Amino acid sequence: MRWIMDDAGRRWSAERVGRTSGLVSTKHRPAGFPEPADIVRFECQSDSKEAPREMTTRAGLLEQLTDPELKALLNSAPRAPTG
């Protein structure tokens, strides 16, 4: 797990919560097979009204990301699915 601060000063946790298989439908065949990707969940620890967010990134990359790179992922991450 990693911790970052957003531009508003809120504290977020970033944690890998899963991995995609990299497998896709054969109907839309790209030039090559996609690689697996890590699913990263961001949760705001300082504002409970802020919805969790999820984003995929290259597998195994979370530990290697710099704080600015992780913050950029947070800024582009959509809200996590609920339910």
DSSP the chain: -EEEE-TTS-EEEEEEEEE------SSS--SSPPPPEEEEEEEESS-TTSPPEEEEEETT-GGG--HHHHHHHHHHPPBPP--
67-82 residue pLDDT tens: 999 999 999 999 987 7
The pLDDT value given to residue 71: 95
Q: Span 50-76, mean pLDDT? A: 90
The pLDDT value given to residue 47: 93
4-44 residue pLDDT tens: 999 999 999 999 998 887 665 556 655 666 778 889 999 99
